[in-house]
Copies of this chain bind each other. A is one copy, B any other.
Amino acid sequence: MESTILKRRDIDFLLYEWLNVESLTGRARYADHSRETFNAAIDSAEQIATDLFATHNKKSDAQEPHFDGERVTIIPEVKTALDAFCAAGFMAAGQDYEYEGMQLPYVVDRAIAAYFTAANVATSAYTFLTMGNANTLLKTATPRQVERFVRPQLAGRFFGTMCLSEPQAGSSLSDITTRAEPDPVDGPEGERQYRLRGNKMWISAGEHELSENIVHLVLAKIPGPDGKLIPGVKGISLFIVPKYLVDEDGSIGERNDIALAGLNHKMGNRGTTNCLLNFGEGRFKPEGRAGAIGYLVGEPHKGLANMFHMMNEARIGVGLGATVLGATGYLHALDYARNRPQGRHPAEKDPAKPQVAIIEHTDVRRMLLAQKAYTEGALALIMYCARLVDEQRTGDSPEAQARAGMLLDFLTPIAKSWPSQWCTEANSLAIQVHGGYGYTREYNVEQFYRDNRLNPIHEGTHGIHGLDLLGRKVSIQQGALFKAVSEEVTGTIVKARAADAADLHAYAGQLEALWTRIGQVTQTLYGAGDMNKTLANASLYLEAVGHVVIAWMWLEQAIVAAKKGDDDFYRGKLQACRYFFNWELPKSAQQLDLLETIDTTTLDMQDAWF
């Protein structure tokens, strides 16, 4: 049986036939690498994901982490899997050799991540949070902090978290009230040592015993001279707050003043602990007194900017997770559809004839084709973004690097939100293909659907990303980001028109018309003269632009496929592209029509009328 985790053929297509990832080996950073080393790493990931991650995915959902008031218990398979992940060096797959890393391109690192996430999103979360934490610190931490808190994370000894939200401040970070006050001790961190007090909510991987220590990255406010917290985001600073203090020789010291208030019990993603943490309430007394000891990272009051690096990476990570949950659900549904006999063709009137596999039914093929179009379209976007990260890091010129950064900034809200919406829809279709079986926990797809429903919520809700795209990304730098993406889209249109395939010429025309339309509608919205009106339908704008971006990704794939000749794989790519342009893209046209009217239906709605 083919793997139902991910379709390797598709990964290879994206990396080698489309994104030309082998060419990266011509750059100094990746000079030791080759297609063979890339493949060896992905092979290893696929193996461990198959053998150790997928195998406990259902169990860690059914037997979720449990807190008895003292300790959190997690099924042992989670630690076994994570230990294997770390032992294989994947925690540092993309890091420099000096950090014991593999120095793999980010796009290859994401292919690796795709396997682990598709196999078990909940267990994988521990690794991604740790890698994001380490990357943030590598940008801004002192060499001493890197030694004490980054190296052990990259080695897999410590795991990491990001602590942003508070019970009264979810999406609104400016309202956090966790206080950080200077700790007047003459310790090795000097003036960087603070005492933190406050409550942090929604902390994924916030408590467990999977690693020797947990490195919390915490946003908190340093009070002003009057003792008051500065309102707004300006007052936010970033701190390392370890679960256990780390002694001078790097060994684990005493327990810091961080207490688990309780675990959240989620609909899905149950294998990842998610909790409310109380910092500095006096449950523990590190260095003799209450207050969680934290170390300032970077400059005071610049915490949000520092944390945003982690958040952008996490956002593409969310998009990746949503995508591969959709993709694995699709493969499960495909496998079921090929093997489940039920019913007959409409033209077959003889009930004595044997039943056919349900993939023979057009409506089942519709559901499978939609899943293919959503998930392979989304994966293309995620891999394209990952390739841009490599370009941003190692591009041939500062201009090329800056341009990649602009493209990435524009595409990030879409790469986070589009898969979260449409690959969850793919999971719903995977259930539907399974019929009643799909609704039971005896099968796998209902869990994917529950797991995926988190993705439109965390790392910025759907609505927040709509505001980010329409309120910031299209307009900042005098529209330079939008212009850069437009040039890339135009490049695709030109290539499609040069292709030896009439369908592609028609798709190029559709894409061009809609991209032009986006530009016009954006101008119309900004001409509304009232930012409330401009932004009222930002979520719809995000969805409309998202669909057009995915159509662009499909046209890119179709251009490659059309060149390759008459092979089932390429025929499938072309058919999925056809599906997307015929069935999906018209939805954008309708959304842009509505946006153009600067519709105020939702703005005008009054509380009392509900």
Binding site for B on A (CB under 8 A): 165, 168-172, 174-175, 201-202, 231-233, 264-268, 334, 338, 341-347, 350-352, 355, 359, 361-366, 368-369, 372, 428, 431-432, 435-436, 438-442, 446, 449-450, 453-454, 456-458, 461-463, 466-467, 471, 531-532, 535-539, 568-569, 571-572, 575, 578-579, 582-583, 586-587, 589-590, 593-594, 597, 599, 601-610
Contacts and interface: CB of A to CB of B under 8 A. Distances in A.
Given A233-B351, A351-B231, A594 B582 contact: yes
B266 A439 contact: yes
Number of this chain's copies in the complex? 2
13 contacts: A168-B341, A172-B355, A264-B436, A264-B440, A267-B450, A359-B607, A363-B463, A363-B538, A366-B602, A571-B606, A579-B601, A582-B599, A590-B590
Contact of A462 (B267, B432, B466, B607): B432
Given A457-B432, A568-B608, A532 B362 contact: yes
A390 B438 CA distance: 36
B457 A366 contact: no
Contacts of A432: 456-457, 461-463
A504 to B, nearest CB: 15
Contacts of A233: 351
A571 B449 CA distance: 37
Contacts of A174: 351
A330 B463 CA distance: 18
A440 to B, nearest CB: 5
Contacts of A456: 432
A570 B203 CA distance: 43
Which are the 9 A-B pairs with shortest beta-carbon distances? Answer: A232-B351, A572-B609, A363-B463, A231-B352, A366-B602, A231-B351, A267-B446, A172-B343, A568-B608
A506 to B, nearest CB: 13
Contacts of A539: 363, 366
Contact of A369 (B202, B535, B605): B605
A441 B265 contact: yes
A607 B338 contact: yes
Contacts of A604: 575
A477 B31 CA distance: 74
Contacts of A458: 436
A243 to B, nearest CB: 22
A439 B454 contact: yes
Contacts of A362: 532, 535-537, 602-603
A295 to B, nearest CB: 26
A169 B586 CA distance: 37
A393 to B, nearest CB: 32
Contacts of A202: 436
Given A432-B456, A569-B609, 19 more contacts: A169-B342, A170-B342, A231-B351, A265-B442, A267-B441, A346-B531, A347-B531, A362-B536, A363-B467, A363-B538, A363-B539, A428-B453, A431-B457, A432-B457, A438-B457, A568-B609, A571-B609, A582-B594, A590-B590
A363 B603 CA distance: 8
A346 B532 contact: yes
Contacts of A537: 362, 366
Contact of A342 (B172, B266, B436, B601): B172
B582 A601 contact: yes
Nearest to A333: B610
Given A575-B604, A575-B605, A604-B575, A532 B366 contact: no
B365 A605 contact: yes
Contacts of A267: 439-441, 446, 449-450
Nearest to A201: B436
Nearest to A373: B601
Contacts of A365: 602-603, 605
A463 B435 CA distance: 11
A535 B352 CA distance: 23
A461 B606 CA distance: 38
A166 to B, nearest CB: 11
A467 B605 CA distance: 38
Contacts of A538: 363
A435 B457 contact: yes
A439 B264 CA distance: 9
A369 B342 CA distance: 40
Given A568-B608, A610-B372, A449 B453 contact: yes
A568 B609 CA distance: 5
Contact of A435 (B170, B531, B575, B599): B170
B593 A579 contact: no
B601 A334 contact: no
A466 B364 CA distance: 12
A361 B572 contact: no
Contact of A593 (B369, B442, B586, B594): B586
Interface centre among A169, A268, A361, A366 (most CB of B within 10 A): A366
Could you say which of A454, A535, A578, A602 has the most chain B C-beta atoms within 10 Å of its C-beta?
Answer: A602
Given A587-B587, A605-B365, A610 B572 contact: yes
A449 B268 CA distance: 12
